[in-house]
């Protein structure tokens, strides 16, 4: 791939879609006739389930999106025709809204087609970006973009929020798999080609076989300290420009018409911390003025509310900073933002020049997309055609992408390829489940509630293996509970991370990336591999993951080891490479090479390749150079082939970092709440800022009350919405409670149940959801005497057995539920010693 140029300053870019004087004249004519309300309507983008055609008519809304897990009528099996008809209803409402005006402004629809049209039933799903980065094939990206565009067009949509051009530099970040590489060279090359594939030429974009692209997330989201999702990137502007902006530079040059702002903040030399959504410097001075980007800058989901001076119903500061279109989740929020912004525009608090800049950009992009000339979404060339989604040639392309993305890390004794006549035992947690292959952002946001019925034509590892060797020679036993590995020629151990997206996949700063220490199920995989090694089995391990992980023990227990990333719902691309052809010769060799650095140690979280185009590169604070004790186990660019082979790896050195010893003694009783031990009773909900109790919200009512002895208590009414109630360390400090587990510690909770939970009611001892598990205590609460104060004791050993980590506890008590319930919470204590102590 071409070596990147170093930019000492922000370059002025030339877009492949140049300004059109005719379009600009038409924009000026329309803009001069628009009312303030009509202009503001173009700047608001609600979600499918929070918008009606009547809203479009009343508020002159200019665009909408369907977030992950949002479908017409709530039907996850909605057909392309249903999608196009639904979108067409909003399109028609916009036409009606301007029926009596001397101009019209067409409606525009956007979706998250980030690895294929991944939210739509029957669509082709491609590997996630981290796998595609390993393919090192920009031309493949162009073909994937073109295929994705046709499938998006078949559902009547105009715009996809892709490509993601982040450069992840910390493995703890839950969005690592959304980036093509830790190094900007691959990201730069890929961004250009995917944009070209999605949008085509300027002429193509005006037709209805291509869609608008969106480079995201501007800027620095892959460089946040400790990998914090929505955290802050602490780096020089040179690093921001030459590492994190690389994909945006090529995307804008390729003609990307939209750019999505990032949740994160940035602190650089000479710049105090600003959230990107509120940064006039990054949005206006750099992106619009220096780079010359003349398209739409769209906000991320409710990101305005995280900017100082803004809240759920006030986005004035982000509009002033340069955001053109606000993506807002709920009707309550977008109507409030509309109301607040309208008043600010009328008062002059938001300058009309800023509003006109935003609307001019929206009109420009809509015109470049040919929306004035296109018919209703349901009447377009591909609209509603079921034969477009999942076309055979698209599925073949996805299968090719899987083959090219696989990285062979180990192949001792030429274990691979496997003979097609072999007797195969398929084991491991990913042996026969599709979720670990697909990851997040697949059908639903987290991708953790899907199965093969969501993926017509999909296949698990076990199914794909059986398709090669025959069902009679393929046996599935995920944890070696029923079969002797000695009865088989080879064992394929499929292991991997559970699906996640965004903050749900981010790891706390204290955590490491040792696969077996992340979840109990992963530890069980390691145990399975060790048992196979002890039995003398020939083992081929396939790892599905959204990030490189410390898996040296798994490597040592394997004869061959493949990093398969998140390949998607069809495992046949994997077996294409694992198995020889009918003549026992190599059918498809491994082509993938690491686009990320593979860690030697558990805490090698930020060891990255040094960007070759940056002279005298100085890593930001927290990033580690790949040298000395941080030398990678496998360097960026590593990848074996079966034809060329390579030296047998044998037994690799393990990370011998000693565990922190468990304290020798513990306190007999620790008052968690109420008390003076530094814990604050707090409540939070998804996308809501945690707030101390008492409070009144749409998800929880919490009011002070008294316990049986007149002591402090809290009345909690859970309103059937997802909510977390927890005791959090006031100073953020963490406590090592492993000795309490060892010494028979229990959580003793004084509680009066007034209305038992109507569903699961989870208890845990961490603020690390969903990476760590919970224990459902709904039945125990229901068994307590109704309306009477009682004590509920939960052994810490029970929680530890479920997989909860007690070495770094800042939240010793958390309730998590979506069920309605009403209870009073009294004293919460951590006690050790004999029962009743």
CB contact at 8 A, 439 and 551: no
- Using the CB atoms, write b or e for 582-594: b if 16+ within 10 Å: eeeebbbbbbbbb
Burial class (CB in 10 A: 0-12, 13-18, 19+), 787: exposed
Are the beta carbons of 694 and 702 closer than 8 angstroms? yes
**Where is 347: in which H helix or E strand?**
helix 331-347
C-alpha 90/C-alpha 111 separation (Å) is: 15
Closest CA to 385 of 195, 209, 211: 209
Cβ–Cβ under 8 Å, residues 378 and 384: yes
- Whose CA is closest to 625, among 605, 604, 647, 607? 607
The label of the residue with tokens 């800023």 reads 354
Distant-in-sequence, close-in-space partners of 281: CB < 8 Å, separation ≥ 6? 271, 274
Q: How far apart are the first and last CA of the chain?
A: 67
Asked if 189 contacts 250 with a C-beta cutoff of 8 angstroms, the reply is yes
Return the closest-CA partner of residue 691 out of 699, 813, 112. Answer: 699
- Residues written for the chain: 837
Helix 138-154 and helix 392-405, axial crossing angle in degrees, nearest 10: 150
Contact 297, 323 (CB under 8 A): yes
User: Cis peptide before 506, with omega less than 30 degrees from 0?
Assistant: no
Residues that are catalytic: 300, 502
CA atoms of 646 and 651, how far apart (whole Å): 15
Residue 823 pairs with which residues in a beta bridge? 716, 753
552 contacts 565 by C-beta, under 8 angstroms: no
Q: Which of 455, 449, 537, 456 is nearest to 493 (CA)?
A: 537
Sign of CA dihedral 280, 274, 277, 9: positive
Determine the Cα–Cα distance for residues 613 and 618; give it in Å rounded to an integer: 12
Helices (H) and strands (E) in the chain, counts: 24, 30
DSSP-assigned beta bridge partners for residue 260: 216, 298
User: Which residue reads 């459902």 in tokens?
Assistant: 776
Helices (H), 224-324: 237-239, 246-253, 280, 316-321
Question: Rounded to 10 degrees, what is the CA torsion of 798, 804, 806, 807?
Answer: 150
Kindly report the backbone phi and psi dihedral angles of residue 566, in degrees, each rounded to the nearest multiple of 5, phi listed first.
-125, 85
Angle subtended at Cα 98 by Cα 93 and Cα 101, rounded to the nearest 5 degrees:
165
646: left (phi over 0), alpha (psi -120 to 50) or beta: left
The rounded distance, in Å, linking the Cα atoms of 557 and 548 is 18
Strands (E), 566-668: none
**Cα separation of 544 and 493, whole Å?**
11
Contact 405, 186 (CB under 8 A): no
- Beta bridge partners, 716, equal 702, 823
Q: What is the C-alpha to C-alpha distance for residues 603 and 187, in angstroms, rounded to an integer? A: 25
Ramachandran assignment for 778, one of left (phi > 0), alpha (psi -120 to 50 degrees), beta (any other): alpha
Which pair of tokens denotes residue 640?
């074996």
Residue with tokens 């220490």: 517
């Amino acid at each position: 791939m071409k070596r990147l140029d170093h930019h000492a300053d922000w370059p002025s870019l030339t877009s492949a879609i140049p300004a059109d004087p005719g379009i600009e004249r038409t924009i000026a004519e329309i803009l001069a006739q628009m009312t303030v309300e009509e202009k503001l309507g173009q700047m608001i983008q609600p979600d499918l389930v929070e918008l009606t055609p009547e809203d479009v008519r009343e508020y002159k809304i200019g665009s909408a999106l369907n977030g992950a897990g949002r479908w017409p009528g709530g039907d996850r099996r909605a057909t392309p025709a249903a999608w196009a008809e639904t979108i067409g209803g909003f399109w028609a409402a916009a036409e009606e809204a301007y029926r009596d005006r001397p101009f019209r402004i067409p409606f525009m629809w956007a979706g998250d087609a980030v690895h294929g049209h991944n939210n739509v039933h029957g669509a082709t799903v491609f590997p996630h970006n981290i796998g595609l980065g390993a393919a090192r094939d920009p031309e493949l990206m162009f073909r994937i973009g073109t295929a994705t565009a046709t499938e998006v067009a078949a559902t009547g949509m105009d715009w996809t929020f892709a490509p993601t051009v982040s450069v992840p530099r910390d493995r703890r970040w839950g969005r690592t798999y959304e980036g093509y590489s830790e190094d900007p060279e691959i990201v730069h090359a890929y961004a250009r080609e995917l944009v070209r594939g999605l949008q085509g030429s300027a002429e193509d974009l005006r037709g209805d076989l291509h869609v608008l692209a969106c480079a995201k997330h501007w800027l620095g989201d892959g460089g946040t300290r400790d990998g914090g999702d929505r955290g802050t990137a602490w780096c020089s502007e040179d690093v921001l420009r030459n590492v994190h902006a690389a994909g945006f530079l090529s995307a804008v040059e390729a003609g990307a018409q939209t750019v999505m702002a990032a949740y994160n903040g940035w602190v650089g030399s000479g710049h105090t911390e600003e959230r990107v959504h509120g940064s006039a410097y990054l949005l206006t001075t750099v992106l619009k003025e220096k780079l010359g980007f003349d398209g739409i800058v769209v906000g991320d989901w409710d990101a305005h509310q995280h900017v100082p001076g803004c809240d759920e119903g006030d986005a004035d500061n982000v509009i002033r900073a340069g955001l053109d279109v606000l993506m807002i989740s709920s009707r309550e929020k977008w109507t409030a933002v509309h109301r607040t912004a309208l008043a600010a525009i009328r008062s002059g608090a938001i300058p009309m020049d800023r509003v006109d800049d935003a609307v001019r950009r929206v009109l420009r992009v809509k015109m470049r997309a040919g929306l004035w000339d296109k018919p209703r979404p349901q009447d377009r060339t591909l609209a509603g055609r079921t034969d477009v989604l999942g076309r055979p040639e698209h599925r073949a392309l996805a299968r090719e992408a899987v083959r090219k993305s696989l990285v062979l890390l180990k192949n001792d004794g030429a274990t691979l390829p496997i003979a097609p006549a072999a007797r195969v035992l398929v084991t491991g947690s990913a042996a026969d489940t599709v979720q670990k292959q697909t990851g997040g952002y697949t059908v639903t946001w987290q991708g953790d509630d899907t199965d093969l019925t969501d993926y017509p034509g999909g296949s698990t590892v076990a199914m794909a293996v059986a398709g090669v060797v025959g069902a009679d020679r393929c046996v599935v036993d995920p944890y070696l509970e029923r079969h002797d590995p000695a009865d088989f020629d080879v064992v394929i151990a499929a292991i991997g991370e559970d699906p996640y997206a965004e903050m749900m996949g981010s790891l706390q700063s204290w955590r490491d990336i040792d696969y077996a220490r992340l979840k109990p199920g992963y530890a069980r995989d390691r145990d399975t591999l060790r048992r196979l090694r002890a039995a003398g089995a020939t083992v081929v391990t396939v790892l599905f993951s959204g990030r490189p992980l410390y898996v040296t023990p798994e490597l040592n227990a394997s004869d061959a080891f493949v990093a398969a990333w998140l390949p998607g719902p069809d495992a046949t691309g994997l077996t294409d490479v694992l198995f020889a052809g009918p003549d026992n010769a190599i059918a498809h060799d491994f082509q993938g090479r690491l686009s990320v650095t593979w860690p030697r140690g558990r805490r090698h979280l930020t060891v990255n390749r040094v960007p070759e185009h940056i002279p005298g590169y100085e890593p930001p604070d927290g990033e580690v150079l790949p040298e000395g004790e941080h030398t990678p186990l496998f360097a960026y660019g590593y990848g074996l082939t079966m034809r060329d082979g390579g030296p047998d790896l044998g037994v690799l050195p393990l990370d011998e970092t000693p565990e922190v010893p468990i304290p020798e003694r513990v306190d007999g009783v620790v008052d968690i709440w109420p008390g003076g031990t530094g814990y604050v009773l707090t409540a939070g909900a998804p996308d809501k800022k945690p707030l101390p109790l008492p409070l009144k919200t749409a998800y929880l009512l919490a009011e002070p009350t008294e316990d049986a002895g007149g002591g402090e208590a809290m009345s909690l009414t859970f309103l059937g919405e997802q909510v977390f109630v927890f005791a959090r360390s006031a100073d953020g400090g963490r406590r090592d409670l492993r000795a309490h587990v060892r010494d028979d510690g229990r959580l003793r909770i004084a509680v009066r149940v007034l209305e038992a939970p109507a569903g699961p009611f989870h208890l845990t001892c961490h603020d690390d959801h969903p990476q760590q598990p919970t224990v459902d205590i709904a039945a125990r609460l229901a068994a307590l005497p109704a309306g009477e104060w009682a004590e509920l004791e939960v052994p810490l050993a029970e929680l530890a057995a479920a997989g909860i980590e007690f070495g770094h506890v800042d939240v010793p008590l958390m309730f998590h539920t979506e069920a309605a319930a009403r209870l009073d919470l009294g004293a919460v204590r951590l006690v050790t010693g004999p029962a009743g102590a």
